[in-house]
Structure 1
Amino acid sequence: MTRRLPWYGLGLLILAQICYPLTDGGARAAVTVTTVVLGYLLSVGHAALTRGPRVATVLVLVTTGGGLFVEAAGVASGVPFGDYTYSGALGPKIAGVPWVIPLAWTWMAWPAWLAAVRLVRHPVLRVGVAGVGLAAWDLFLDPQMVAEGYWTWSNASPSLPGVPDVPLGNYAGWLVVAVLMMTVFNGLAGPTAIVPGRDAPMYALYLWTYLSSILAHAAFLGLPASAGWGALGMGLVALPLAISLRVRG
């Protein structure tokens, strides 16, 4: 039964995400929060079930705790993401940061890490691939959330072509933070081996996030430029992962 729990969790997450383009206003904000919570529980739960409570605890401390720290620093100082502020749409805040935001770091950090574990053996390269896998998600995330008014930058220049409301420095900040997170996680959690047959839900989560984000941005959310940039950036990890699963099973 426990082997099926991550698949059930992934199914609930997908159902919630399908509701996103079908809603707006307060209902869409509620769907956003629900989606993040479900993704968080899915990733932490999978880590606990497959690697044990110690690894799951390290994951939470590094990515949830670390996510809150860097987001609070960002809101207060503009470092490392630029000068930005959160609206009140996503619920209560901790140090200026909606409580749900740090959970999003953990949600995608774990599948990005497991994708890197599958793709790369060298520990240093693995950390780099995992960091890219996490940071590239933001090429979808920030344009989508800014379009909804959940946060805004005071100065978004320079920016990627077609994505005028998110500064390039934000993506650079994400990459630096993501690599640091993966470095610390690797050091504290220790070597992470593939668990045959148990990591498939996380691979599916990563690939679903990639493909569904392209579709949603291009066809439903009116964000074709971020669909393209996200396809390129996240594809650096998602496409090799898909090929690996196709070739090696």
Structure 2
Amino acid sequence: MDIDKVQLASLVILIVGIILNGSVITFFLLSIVSLILISIRRKDVITVVLVSMIVGFLFEELGIHTGIPFGRYAYNFPPYILGVPIFVILGWGVFSFISYLVIMDFPKKYKVIFFPLLMVIIDLSVDPVMVTAGFWTWAPSAVEWFGIPVTNFLGWYLVSLIISLTFSNRTYYSRLSPLFIIPYFLFSLTFVLSAKPELFIPLLVASSLAGSISLILYLLENRINSKLV
């Protein structure tokens, strides 16, 4: 079976975008190019991204007014759409994109199990950095993870679970699909490599979790694919 050059190009461009993650605009632009390319072969991917942006926006809108489901917080990250930063809306799409690529060839039951976990692990990396940079602030909470309420991660799990319920039940097979764990793990790793001293421990934990779940999913996907070929 020949390697799909379109998917390979999408993979490489996404990896380059993550390596250049220090430039937010470059990261988002290259992620969009990667998304467009892979959507030539996989229409389900663009659907996942669009659904994630819509659902994420709706829950962010609910969150900034009620504190449900993430907890009480305020943004300082213009420009906004109805109070929600545009880059946060794009973030829901891009983070879903990176997470979904890891499991896109899995049966739906595995997607529903692992997608929310993959998303929460990404937020374990992103949220501490963005809070430290002042892009949003959290109200004090009884139970926190380095200044971030645990309710935030429970909210991310819930919203991501809702998104995963919309996924297609169709199972695919691609020789390249196991390689999409690379950008997922690399995304968390880049945060560790550029971490401020006070963020090193939470980002190292997040990166370790990303590496662990990537290995588990790599082994699981090889097992699933061996039954399909």
Smaller-chain TM-score bracket:
0.7 to 0.9
User: How far did residue 131 of structure 1 move?
Assistant: 1.3
RMSD of the alignment, in Å?
2.8
Asked whether the 8 Å contact 1:48–1:56 carries over to 2, the reply is yes
Displaced runs of 4+ in structure 1, greater than 4 A? 242-249
Query: Residue 103 of structure 2 is aligned with which of 116, 122, 126?
Result: 116
Code of the aligned partner of 1:59: V
User: How far did residue 15 of structure 1 move?
Assistant: 4.4
Matches within 5 A, 1:1-249: 2-17=6-21, 20=22, 31-42=23-34, 44-52=35-43, 55-88=44-77, 91-117=78-104, 121=107, 123-160=108-145, 163=146, 165-184=147-166, 186=167, 189-197=168-176, 199=177, 202-217=180-195, 220=196, 222-241=198-217
Unaligned runs of 5+ in 1: 21-30
User: How far did residue 139 of structure 1 move?
Assistant: 0.7
Q: Using a 3 Å threshold, how does the CA distance of structure 1 residues 9 and 236 change in structure 2: closer, same or farther? A: same
Kindly, what percent of the aligned residue pairs are identical?
Answer: 22
TM-score where L is the length of structure 1:
0.76
Asked whether the 8 Å contact 2:11–2:180 carries over to 1, the reply is no
Code of the aligned partner of 1:176: L
Secondary structure of the corresponding residue to residue 173 of structure 2: coil
Distance in 2 between the 1:216 and 1:194 partners? 35
Asked whether the 8 Å contact 1:10–1:201 carries over to 2, the reply is no
User: How far did residue 181 of structure 1 move?
Assistant: 0.8
Code of the aligned partner of 1:240: I
Secondary structure of the corresponding residue to residue 100 of structure 1: helix
| CA deviation profile, 1:64-109 (whole Å, cap 9, x unmatched) | 1111111111111111111111103xx3101111111121122121
> Hey, what does 1:24 align to over in structure 2?
none
Secondary structure of the corresponding residue to residue 140 of structure 2: coil
What is the number of residues matched between the two proteins?
A: 221
TM-score where L is the length of structure 2:
0.82
User: How far did residue 176 of structure 1 move?
Assistant: 1.0
Unaligned runs of 5+ in 2: none
Secondary structure of the corresponding residue to residue 152 of structure 1: strand
User: How far did residue 4 of structure 1 move?
Assistant: 4.5
